[in-house]
Amino acid sequence: MPMELYPDVVDGLEDEGGVPSRLLKTDAGEDRQEGTPWMMFAGSRSRGPMRQRSRWMTSPGKAQVALAQKTVAVLTLPGDVGAMDVAGGTAEPRFTSAEAPLTPSAEALTQAAQRIDAAESVAILAGQGARHARDELLALAERLAAPMVLTLKAKDGLERDNPYELGQTGMIGNPAARRALEASELLLMVGTDLPYVDWYPKDKVVVQIDMRGEHIGRRTRVETGVIGDAKPALAGLLDRVSAKPDRSVLDEHRGEYLAWRERQLKLAAPGYDAHGAGRARALLDNPGHRIRPEALAAAIDAHAADDAVFTSDTGMSTVWLSRFVTMRGTRRLIGSYNLGSMANAMPHALGALPSTARARSSRSAATAA
């Protein structure tokens, strides 16, 4: 799990079992530790003896670092320690996950606004770092008449009820998204560190907004970087940029995208293989008349609850999810989209199940009351 979370810039704590205490420092099988239980962070590593075991086990300090720094921690406990009872009277730990938004500098926002105003057309590439700034992002897209391409991790939160979105780019993307990025004079990157550098448009003016300064210019050349939280950054741009009233470019790309989606949905139709082009295609790729994966993905989308959590394995299943599953309602999406681990979907689903069950139970209780 740590190697899953770190490239996605997600905080997390993994609790894993280790060899019994009596086998520590004996090079026994799976004795990976250098002594007593330890926590490993992506940026630093600290170890210490667990003299007061119950107090150490419930101390919030290290986990709080993981939350505050958006990093990953691993807690390894010997099996016999994990079976112990916490001493009576031990205080229950409390954690604070709320983040103070990093406000970008006024100078950077002014420079970004000047670049945007000078451009004839703007396309937005939005990532997971923009999900919490949904309202500001949609308002800016409306102001600029800008088509919006979403990374796969931004599909969760930014796809629903979005009249500017064009789906994804890259190998799982579509022609409309690619052409929108290529046709724009300026690319506005918001909360994304999309690692697939071959799919960035060439020779564009680029403005990038990101919480992490080290992400600015890492994937493509950037003229103006804005370091800060997406929500105040977009609000600052809304206060500074002028409207672009010509919506013809946006309408053209949206029309192309919607037409592409209609063609994709035909692949999921029950009788697709029986008529016309579908019948000819089936002779090549489906001679056994098996259920098409597109049809299965579309059926799952149609019948899944509006608060479902979707997970996908690496490979074609991610393509089908991207194209046929819609993030309506409060649906969530989890996957190994940076590291690309294999067989990750089931562990992700098992991890998501408890929180989903708790949320549904809370809603049922509130309705009953």
- Check pLDDT > 90 for residue 43: no
Task: Check residue 65 and give its pLDDT.
Answer: 61
* pLDDT, position 114: 98
Radius of gyration of the chain from its Cα atoms, rounded to whole angstroms = 24
CA distance readout (Å), 93 to 47, 99, 167: 20, 19, 42
- Does residue 367 carry a pLDDT above 80? no
Q: Residue 299: is it exposed, middle or buried by C-beta count within 10 angstroms (0-12/13-18/19+)?
A: middle
Q: Which CATH superfamily is domain 106-259 in?
A: TPP-binding domain (3.40.50.1220)
Per-residue confidence (pLDDT) for residue 8, from 0 to 100: 56
Helix axes 134-144, 230-238, angle to 10 degrees: 30
Statement: residue 295 has pLDDT above 90: yes
pLDDT band for position 119 (50/70/90)?
Answer: very high
pLDDT tens for each residue of 50-81: 333 333 344 455 566 666 666 666 666 677 77
Question: Long-range contacts of range 300-306, CB-CB < 8 Å, 24 or more positions apart?
Answer: 300/325, 301/325, 301/326, 304/331, 305/329, 306/330, 306/331
Indicate whether 180 pLDDT > 60: yes
User: Mean pLDDT for the chain?
Assistant: 83
Q: What local confidence, expressed as pLDDT, does residue 101 receive?
A: 76
Domain ranges of the chain: 2-82, 106-259, 304-363
pLDDT score, position 35: 39
260 residue type, one letter: W
For 103-131, what is the mean pLDDT? 97
Residue 299 confidence class, pLDDT cut points 50, 70, 90: very high
Lowest-confidence segment of 5-19, 32-46, 224-238, 349-363 by average pLDDT: 32-46
| pLDDT over 70 at 277, yes or no | yes
Given a contact cutoff of 8 angstroms between Cβ atoms, the answer to whether 167 and 181 are in contact is: no
The proportion of the chain whose per-residue pLDDT surpasses 70, expressed as a percent, equals 75
Tell me how far apart the alpha carbons of residues 82 and 313 are, in angstroms, rounded to a whole number.
Answer: 31
Q: Which of 94-103, 142-151, 256-265 has the lowest mean pLDDT?
A: 94-103
pLDDT band per the 50, 70, 90 thresholds, residue 28: low
pLDDT at position 363 is 62
pLDDT of residue 55: 37
Higher pLDDT, 300 or 79: 300
pLDDT, average across residues 138-142? 98
Q: Is residue 133's pLDDT more than 90?
A: yes
